[in-house]
Chains A and B, each alone.
Chain A
Amino acid sequence: MATAEHPGAPPADLPLEPEMHPLVLNKHGLVSIGDAIGGVVLNGQHPRGWWIGFLAGLAMLQILAISVVWLFYMGVGIWGINVPVAWGFAIVNFVWWIGIGHAGTLISAVLLLMHQKWRTSINRFAEAMTIFAVMCAGLFPLIHMGRPWFFYWLFPFPNVAGVWPQFRSPLTWDVFAVTTYFTVSLVFWYIGLIPDLAALRDQATKRWQRLVYGLLALGWRGSAIHWRRYEKVYLILGGISTPLVLSVHTVVSFDFAVSIVPLWHATIFPPFFVAGAIYSGFAMVVALALPIRRWYKLEDFFTDHHMDVCAKVMLATGFLVTYGYFSELWMAWYGHSLYEWGTTLERMFGPYGWSYWCLIGFNCAIPLTLLWSKRVRRSFWMLEFVCISVLIGMWFERYVIVITLSREYIPATWGRYSPTIWDYATMIGSMGLFLTLFFLFIRYMPMISITEMRELLPKKQGGGGGHSIMENAP
Chain B
Amino acid sequence: MTTPHETNGHGAVSEPTVFGLLALFDDAEAMCEATRKASAAGYSRMDCYSPYPVGDAADALNFPKSEMGAVMFIGGITGACAGFFMQYYLNAYGYSLNVGGRPYNSWPSFIPITFEMMVLTTALSGFFGLMALCGLPRYHHPLFNCASFDRASRDGFFLCIEASDPNYNAATTRAFLESLHPVSVEEVPE
Contacts and interface: CB of A to CB of B under 8 A. Distances in A.
A168 B91 CA distance: 9
B55 A467 contact: yes
Contacts of B109: 167-168
Contact of B58 (A184, A190, A227): A227
Contact of B55 (A162, A176, A454, A471): A471
Interface stretch (B11-19, B124-132, B175-183): B124-132
B87 interface: yes
Given A201-B153, A221-B49, A240 B119 contact: yes
A165 B54 CA distance: 48
A464 to B, nearest CB: 5
A184 B123 contact: yes
Given A156-B86, A222-B152, A236-B68, A164 B55 contact: no
Contacts of A231: 53, 55
Contacts, number: 212
Given A187-B126, A202-B152, A221-B152, A228 B141 contact: no
A407 to B, nearest CB: 26
B53 A229 contact: no
Nearest to B93: A164
Interface in A299-321: none
Interface residues of A, number: 71
Contact of B116 (A166, A180, A219): A180
B154 A202 contact: yes
A174 to B, nearest CB: 9
Given A34-B154, A173-B113, A454 B95 contact: no
B45 to A, nearest CB: 12
Category for how many chain B residues contact A:
35 or more
B103 to A, nearest CB: 10
Contact of A233 (B72, B106, B116, B141): B72
Nearest to A12: B29
B66 interface: yes
A88 B141 CA distance: 55
B66 A473 contact: yes
A266 to B, nearest CB: 18
A218 B130 CA distance: 12
Given A462-B27, A467-B55, A229 B68 contact: yes
Interface in A165-224: 165-168, 170, 172-173, 176-177, 179-180, 183-184, 187-188, 190-191, 195, 198-199, 201-203, 218-224
B137 A218 contact: yes
A445 B58 CA distance: 29
Contact of A167 (B54, B113, B130, B155): B113
A318 B36 CA distance: 52
A188 B136 contact: no
B47 A251 contact: no
B170 interface: no
Contacts of A218: 131, 136-138
B51 A199 contact: yes
A455 interface: yes
Contacts of A385: none
A179 B125 CA distance: 16
Nearest to B89: A164
A472 B51 CA distance: 14
Indicate the member of A163, A183, A198, A229 with the most B CB atoms within 10 Å. A229
B116 A225 contact: no
A225 B3 contact: yes
A366 interface: no
A202 B153 contact: yes
Interface in B46-102: 47-58, 61, 63-69, 72, 76, 86-87, 90-91, 94-95, 97, 99, 102
Nearest to B106: A168
A463 interface: yes
A232 B153 CA distance: 20
Interface of B: 3, 5-6, 27-29, 47-58, 61, 63-69, 72, 76, 86-87, 90-91, 94-95, 97, 99, 102, 106, 109-110, 112-113, 115-120, 122-124, 126-127, 129-131, 133-134, 136-141, 143-144, 149-155
7 contacts: A162-B94, A167-B91, A219-B140, A221-B49, A228-B63, A236-B69, A462-B27
Given A225-B61, A244-B116, 18 more contacts: A5-B55, A166-B91, A167-B87, A168-B91, A168-B99, A183-B124, A202-B150, A219-B140, A224-B50, A224-B57, A225-B6, A229-B134, A230-B134, A247-B119, A451-B51, A471-B55, A472-B58, A474-B64
